Structure 1
Amino acid sequence: MNSASRNDSCVSSVEQREVTVGGGVQGSEGIISIHLVPSHLENETMELLRDKHRMTGISCVVCLLTLSHLHTLTEADTEASCVVLKSCILPCSFQSGNEVVVHWFQGTGKTPVHSYYHNQDQLARQDQRFRGRTSLFKDQISRGNASLQLTGVEVQDRGRYNCHTSTISGNKDSFINLKVDAPVAEVDIQKVENRITCSSEGIYPEPELTWSTSPPSSVTFKNTTTVQETEQQLYNISGSLILSDSGTDVAYSCNISTRRNKRRATLRHPPPIIASSTDTTIPCSVSNTSLMVFSLVWRFNHSQIILNQAGANVSHSVSEEWRQQVKGVSESGGLMLQDLSWKQEGMYTCELSNPEETYVTNTFLRIEKVSRTGVTGIIVAVVVGVIVVVLLTGLILYCKSKRVRKTHSAFSWDLFNVYVVCTDDDVCLTQRGTRPEMVL
């Protein structure tokens, strides 16, 4: 085998210069192959060459001369944004070619995120924090796509990433600035006595909390806000508002915002409703609002769920305990109740929500005493009345049938303090109060 054929066996995926040992004299033990590569690809190139030499059975002395910038193209930074706990893609493209090498690094310390060469992932040096969370689009690498898919995004993933690609045609460095957000998902608002509290959890970056009223008020309220950072570098925020005036015509709104989004929760506390019959409707009205874009939840005494409805075109779902009392839901979201008793007296909470806003209305329902008596009480009263009439009629008839020589005859029904007095003229009268004297 001549030196030229030997040299062919030591060709790698990067630019090389070669020197033959012994001038190509027969019987020489091998050749020296000098390869010029970027410094951070030294280990991968060495492994690649050794594999080729083992396959050919030819002994080569490999000398790597590392260069910092060898045919390397650098692009301007690209901006990317990801959401905590979601998946996202960090874009990276390159000129397709043979012997593809892909390296992803994070930060100035070049934390290893993902590597690919020898036509497969090489994750031995991957940082522990990225284990099981990174992947490339294998079917698209040959077409020049080296984008990285990152799952289960964490706040710590934010920062600058370097995508380094290398082929026999040259090298390329792309840089991606990754922003991570944990948007405001839910805002909880409630009122206890003269204090309104508002809170939200799992937010990044640090959020802001503000209050407003409708209609606008010039009164200065005493409010406090607390922000706490969790081990996951997320923020929990809470605020409280102490009311000096407990007027029921004011709606209080809590606004929590970050650079990515904001949510508002509004609380109303209208006057109590007095149910004068067995049927009533508790309103849940919000101006300029349609159930088409809102979800609806009704609760009893702040905790027990009465029903759920996800928009106007979706039928509501009533809990088992309330199926007898719930008659339906009005177009504006009002709760229509029937067959009420004292057990249904309490606080009813209507919650209307969409991705930007939550409206909460707390209405106290008071059941009148007549309603507490119920149907059974009415029936008992009617029966007692009938019995009284029958007994009085019987006493009168009995009195008339008595034909005695007495000026007056008197009979009493002591239970109701009612007396019947009859004369000789067969005239009988009823009398309440003091028992009349018997006249002989």
Structure 2
Amino acid sequence: RVFVSAQQISNGNATLILRRSAPRTSDGRPVCAAAPIRGLFLEQSRLSGYEEIKCFVPDVFPAPRVTWATEPPTFEDLRPITRKHAKENGLFSVDSRLMKLKGRPDLIYICKMTTSYSRSTWTASLREREIAGTEGRDLTISCAAPTYLKNPSLYWTFSRGDNSTLILSYNSQSDRQVSAPSWDGHLELDIYKAKFGDGSLRLMDPRRSEHSGSYACEFSEKFSRHVERSQVTIKQRSVEQKPSYWWILGVVAAGLVLVLAGLLAFLKLKEHSASCTV
């Protein structure tokens, strides 16, 4: 906003004051007063022997406030490291990292970013796990929405390497479920439970070569997104051993020993009786 005082001009002072001026690029072009958040990105990394969660948002202005939480809540002190990097164009890239708590593998880590120009808070959360199953045996891949999500849509994707495929989606508004044709007969979602935030997926008759990989469950709303990644390994079913009949021989042998012992005892008792009669 431009402000010039008429009194100052009459006194020969033509100073121009710019209030709330927007940032400018290196060549002097102004940047919009607000560059809104368009989405948060969460990822897990393993560095120097420990695991950390990274929350990142690019090209925003002004820089948002970052807070962390867990679900369920923990009394341990969370100590994130947040960096706000100003670019030449006046926009910010915000990077916040949080070391995962040891001994709490099932915690959901929640990153929140709040801006000064909007009442909306962007929220992203993540949980990762590893699951092992056996070829041909049904396996349940768990996924549950955090309490801050009220009526989210659900998406399941499968990836191996750089290829990612949407295998199932569920719209809580229309109560409609859609699955990829190539996965028919292998996926089952309990729609009744999904309405209440339980998006667990039942993997039926899994194959080691086809169904081992990374499964991602995503609950999403307008300003919120929760992701659970499960690294699933389908192991080959071991060759079933033929039943052993040695135990039957053992039982028979033990029975014979008991019979012989009883017979000897009977003969001794009979011999003793005969000697007493004489």
Contact kept? 2:186, 2:204, Cα under 8 Å: yes
Correspondence for 1:299: 157
**Residue number among 263, 271, 293 corresponding to 2:122 in the alignment:** 263
Q: Distance in 1 between matches of 2:227 and 2:72?
A: 16
Residue 209, structure 1, aligned to residue 75, structure 2: no
Q: Distance in 1 between matches of 2:43 and 2:31?
A: 33
Q: How does 1:102-121 map to 2 (within 5 A)?
A: none
Correspondence for 1:334: 200
Structure 2 unaligned blocks of 5 or more:
1-5, 7-15, 19-28, 244-278
What are the superposed Cα offsets for residues 250-283 of structure 1, whole Å, 9 maximum, x if unpaired?
2211111112132111122356353574333322
Distance 1:334 1:244, change over 3 A: closer
Q: How does 1:273-352 map to 2 (within 5 A)?
A: 274-275=133-134, 277-288=136-147, 293-301=151-159, 304-307=164-167, 309=169, 311-312=171-172, 313=174, 315-319=176-180, 322-324=182-184, 326-331=186-191, 332=194, 333-343=199-209, 344-352=211-219
Q: Distance in 1 between matches of 2:88 and 2:142?
A: 43
**1:288 offset after TM fit, Å?**
4.9
Q: How does 1:215-254 map to 2 (within 5 A)?
A: 215-254=72-111
Residue 156, structure 1, aligned to residue 31, structure 2: yes
SS of structure 1 residue aligned to 2:31: helix
Contact kept? 1:211, 1:253, Cα under 8 Å: yes
Contact kept? 1:325, 1:340, Cα under 8 Å: no
CA RMSD of aligned residues (A): 3.6
Contact kept? 2:186, 2:206, Cα under 8 Å: no
**1:231 offset after TM fit, Å?**
4.4
Residue type matched to 2:83 in 1?
T
Structure 1 unaligned blocks of 5 or more:
1-67, 69-106, 110-153, 158-179, 386-440
**Residue number among 345, 353, 364 corresponding to 2:220 in the alignment:** 353
Distance 1:290 1:108, change over 3 A: closer
SS of structure 1 residue aligned to 2:80: strand
What are the superposed Cα offsets for residues 168-206 of structure 1, whole Å, 9 maximum, x if unpaired?
xxxxxxxxxxxx433222111121231111111232211
Q: How does 1:12-27 map to 2 (within 5 A)?
A: none
Q: Distance in 2 between matches of 1:289 and 1:311?
A: 18
What's the % identity of the aligned pairs?
20
Contact kept? 2:158, 2:216, Cα under 8 Å: yes
Number of positions where the alignment pairs a residue of Structure 1 with one of Structure 2: 203
Residue 188, structure 1, aligned to residue 41, structure 2: yes
SS of structure 1 residue aligned to 2:137: coil
Distance 1:290 1:226, change over 3 A: closer
Correspondence for 2:229: 362
Contact kept? 1:184, 1:200, Cα under 8 Å: yes
Residue type matched to 1:185 in 2?
R
Correspondence for 1:63: none
Q: Distance in 2 between matches of 1:326 and 1:270?
A: 21
Q: Distance in 2 between matches of 1:108 and 1:224?
A: 37
Correspondence for 1:114: none
Q: Distance in 2 between matches of 1:264 and 1:275?
A: 36
Contact kept? 2:86, 2:92, Cα under 8 Å: yes
Contact kept? 1:273, 1:363, Cα under 8 Å: no
**1:336 offset after TM fit, Å?**
3.1
Q: TM-score, normalised by structure 2?
A: 0.59
SS of structure 2 residue aligned to 1:245: coil
Q: Distance in 2 between matches of 1:306 and 1:300?
A: 7
What are the superposed Cα offsets for residues 91-126 of structure 1, whole Å, 9 maximum, x if unpaired?
xxxxxxxxxxxxxxxx979xxxxxxxxxxxxxxxxx
SS of structure 2 residue aligned to 1:226: strand
Distance 1:325 1:345, change over 3 A: farther
Q: Larger RCO: Structure 1 or Structure 2 (Cα < 8 Å, ≥ 6 residues apart)?
A: 2
